[in-house]
């Protein structure tokens, strides 16, 4: 394919004429890509940002085209992010994404409106694009930007695109708190209201405000469980409900709480997922303006996505909890113990040190051999409960082996650590089932986790060798 370039002045004049005749943004974009084709560049495209995505407004030479490009992807995204012209060759660019075969080079020029990068003009070619090609694309981008300003600037995000943006963002969230916070902000933006509440049902079906935003939410969050249950009942059939903007109109039972808080516009959206009613999303505002049907439908779609994301986050949290805990005792296991030990080391200060206690259930093999593993498991559960009850706030207990437990404690000194060990030993003995041997070590100033744990283990072995049912402190060298 040839790479001839039309005379620069004629090209510029032709583009000016085309743009001056354009009455819409898409007509102006089409004028630019047709101009670039006439200039010997058969694969041009023009993208503008809208709703957080780069949208193709015009192209030539492609049978299909990528659209809705995230600004984080591809040469076009990199150009928008960087705000500078890029001339790349596919084999040398990490940003390149193939859209056509046999591309030898690609040039992409940012588009600006009001000093902000709002899109890009892109050209791919089966030949090496020259400096003159780049100059023509840059001149075309500048001419389009000028016409874009005359036409009122880049197109505003449509309500549908707003919904897509929020749904896309929500889909990437996996934590309940971040899903909740994002859902409130998205609902307020889409409804044009200033406040929102998330009301979720617990395992017993009791509702509670779990997240809120906006000035009205400060008053609304004080609605008691009975009042919240009434609000949830408004939409238990799966319908939504909203106020009509009539101050003298009658309302459902429980609506007084909103009126007293100064909320004259209220939308209540059901949150249901997996065949389960999870709660409601409430949006409120002091202005008595009812939503229109299309707006409500978009909010309902948002609520569906929010409910699904909350259910996913809940499920993932349960899976994480299971992965981090011993299924028999409910305590953290060896991996979580190691992580806690590392965290404790980082938090050590001059006033507060940390200690490790390694705890072994005495005679556990004999219990299993004599009474069976079912009784042995019962003993472990009883011991775990006794140890947990004897722990201080802020300290943590783990099951790190078959009959072995470990604790990470915050202590003031060695005497404090030894006293904690004696308290745990006594708690196990008080069960009447068995006794425990305990090794104690307080971390030295520069001691790593492995050395600390090794000292506690040695102290434990010394206890067992001396007769068991005791607690021994290892002194750092």
pLDDT tens track for 5-14: 444 444 578 8
Joined together, the tokens standing for residue 184 give 């409130």
Residue 338 pLDDT greater than 60, yes or no: yes
| pLDDT given for residue 351 in this prediction | 66
Taking only the tens place, the pLDDT of each residue in 363-413 is 999 998 889 999 999 999 999 999 999 999 889 999 998 999 999 999 989
Q: What is the Cα–Cα distance from 334 to 422, expressed in whole angstroms?
A: 23
| pLDDT given for residue 349 in this prediction | 63
Residue 2 pLDDT greater than 60, yes or no: no
Q: Coil, helix or strand for 438?
A: strand
Helices (H), 59-200: 74-82, 131-150, 159-171, 176-191
Please choose, from the candidates 242, 430, 452, 425, the residue with its C-alpha nearest in 3D space to the C-alpha of residue 341.
452
Average of pLDDT values for 315-321? 83
Measure Cα distances from 45 to 54, 80, 98, 107, 442 in Å. Answer: 12, 14, 14, 11, 67
| pLDDT given for residue 1 in this prediction | 42
Residue 180 pLDDT greater than 80, yes or no: yes
| pLDDT given for residue 246 in this prediction | 80
What is the DSSP code string of 21-79?
H--SHHHHHHHHHHHHHHTT-SEEEEEEEETTEEEEEEESS-SS---SB-TTSHHHHHH
CB 59 within 8 A of CB 45: yes
| pLDDT given for residue 10 in this prediction | 45
Alpha-carbon torsion angle 120, 124, 130, 131, nearest 10: 0
Taking only the tens place, the pLDDT of each residue in 24-61 is 999 999 999 999 999 999 999 999 998 888 999 999 99
Taking only the tens place, the pLDDT of each residue in 443-461 is 888 788 899 999 999 999 9
Taking only the tens place, the pLDDT of each residue in 289-302 is 888 999 999 999 99
Q: Mutual orientation of helices 373-390 and 414-429 as an angle, nearest 10°?
A: 140
Please choose, from the candidates 251, 433, 449, the residue with its C-alpha nearest in 3D space to the C-alpha of residue 338.
449
Residue 404 burial by Cβ neighbours in a 10 Å radius (0-12, 13-18, 19+): middle
Joined together, the tokens standing for residue 6 give 């039309």
Taking only the tens place, the pLDDT of each residue in 195-215 is 999 999 998 999 999 999 999
Q: What are phi and psi of 475, to 5 degrees?
A: -90, 130
CB 454 within 8 A of CB 435: no
CB 118 within 8 A of CB 154: yes
Q: How does residue 350 score in pLDDT terms, banded at 50, 70 and 90? A: low
Question: What's the whole-number average pLDDT of the chain?
Answer: 90
Q: What is the Cα–Cα distance from 422 to 174, expressed in whole angstroms?
A: 42
Joined together, the tokens standing for residue 87 give 């001339």
CB 285 within 8 A of CB 193: yes
Question: What is the number of other CB atoms lying within 10 angstroms of the CB of residue 375?
Answer: 13
CB 177 within 8 A of CB 258: no
The percentage of the chain sitting over the pLDDT mark of 70, rounded to a whole number, equals 97
What is the DSSP code string of 353-407?
EEEEEEEEETTHHHHHHHH-HHHHHHHHHHHHHHHHHHPPTT-EEEE-SSSEEEE
Distance of CA 87 to the CA centre of its chain: 35
Q: For 325, which DSSP code? A: B
What strand order describes the sheet that includes 404-411? Answer: 396-399, 404-411, 353-361, 436-442, 471-474
Plot region of 53 (φ>0 → left; ψ -120 to 50 → alpha; else → beta): beta
Q: What is the Cα–Cα distance from 283 to 212, expressed in whole angstroms?
A: 10
| pLDDT given for residue 271 in this prediction | 96
Q: Which domains does the chain have, with CATH numbers?
A: 8-150 (3.30.450.40), 160-322 (3.30.450.40), 334-474 (3.30.70.270)
Q: For 222, which DSSP code? A: T
Measure Cα distances from 70 to 45, 246, 324 in Å. Answer: 16, 43, 35
CB 122 within 8 A of CB 76: yes
Taking only the tens place, the pLDDT of each residue in 137-169 is 999 999 999 999 999 998 888 899 899 999 999
Q: Checking DSSP bridges between strand 265-273 and strand 116-125, what pairing results, if any? A: unpaired
Question: What is the number of other CB atoms lying within 10 angstroms of the CB of residue 271?
Answer: 24
Measure Cα distances from 406 to 17, 240, 356 in Å. Answer: 80, 52, 7
Q: How many CA atoms lie within 13 A of 67 on its CB side?
A: 11
CB 137 within 8 A of CB 109: yes
Q: What is the Cα–Cα distance from 472 to 477, expressed in whole angstroms?
A: 16
| pLDDT given for residue 120 in this prediction | 97
Average of pLDDT values for 76-81? 95
Q: What is the Cα–Cα distance from 228 to 183, expressed in whole angstroms?
A: 19
């Amino acid at each position: 394919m040839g790479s001839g370039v039309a005379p620069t002045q004629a090209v510029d004049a032709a583009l000016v004429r085309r743009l001056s005749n354009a009455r819409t943004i898409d007509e102006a974009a089409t004028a630019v890509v047709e101009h670039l084709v006439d200039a010997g560049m058969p694969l041009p495209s023009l993208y503008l940002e809208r709703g957080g995505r780069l949208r193709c407004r015009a192209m030539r030479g492609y049978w299909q085209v990528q659209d809705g490009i995230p600004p984080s992807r591809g040469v076009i995204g990199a150009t928008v992010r960087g705000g500078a012209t890029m001339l790349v060759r596919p084999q040398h660019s990490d940003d390149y994404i193939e859209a056509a075969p046999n591309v030898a080079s690609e040039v992409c020029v940012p588009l600006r409106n009001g000093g902000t990068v709002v899109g890009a003009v892109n050209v791919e070619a089966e030949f090496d694009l020259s400096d003159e090609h780049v100059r023509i694309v840059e001149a075309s981008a500048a001419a389009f930007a000028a016409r874009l300003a005359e036409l009122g600037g880049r197109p505003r995000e449509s309500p549908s695109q707003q919904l897509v943006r929020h749904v896309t963002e929500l889909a990437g969230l996996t934590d309940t708190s971040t899903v909740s916070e994002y859902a409130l902000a998205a609902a307020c933006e889409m409804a044009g209201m200033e406040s929102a509440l998330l009301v979720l049902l617990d395992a017993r079906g009791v509702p509670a405000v779990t997240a809120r935003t906006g000035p009205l939410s400060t008053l609304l969050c004080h609605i008691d469980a009975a009042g919240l249950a009434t609000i949830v009942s408004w939409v238990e059939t799966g319908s939504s409900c909203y106020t009509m903007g009539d101050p003298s109109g009658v309302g459902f039972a429980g609506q007084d709480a909103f009126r007293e808080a100064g909320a004259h516009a209220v939308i209540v959206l059901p949150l249901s997922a997996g065949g389960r009613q999870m709660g409601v999303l409430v949006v409120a505002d002091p202005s008595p303006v009812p939503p229109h049907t299309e707006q409500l439908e978009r909010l309902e779609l948002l609520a569906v996505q929010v409910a699904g994301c909350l259910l996913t986050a809940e499920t993932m949290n349960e899976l994480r909890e299971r992965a981090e805990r011993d299924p028999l005792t409910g305590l953290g296991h060896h991996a979580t113990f190691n992580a806690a030990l590392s965290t404790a080391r980082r938090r050590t200060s001059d006033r507060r040190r940390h200690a490790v206690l390694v705890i072994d259930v005495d005679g556990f093999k004999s219990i299993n051999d004599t009474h069976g593993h079912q009784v042995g498991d019962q003993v472990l559960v009883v011991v775990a409960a006794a140890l947990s009850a004897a722990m201080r706030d802020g300290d943590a207990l783990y099951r790190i082996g078959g009959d072995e437990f470990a604790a990470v404690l915050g202590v003031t000194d060695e005497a404090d650590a030894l006293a904690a060990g004696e308290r745990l030993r006594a708690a196990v003995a008080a069960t009447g089932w068995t006794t425990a041997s305990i090794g104690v070590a307080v971390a030295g100033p520069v001691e790593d986790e492995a050395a600390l744990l090794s000292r506690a283990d040695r102290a434990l072995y010394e206890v067992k060798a001396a007769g068991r049912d005791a607690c021994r402190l290892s002194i750092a060298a």
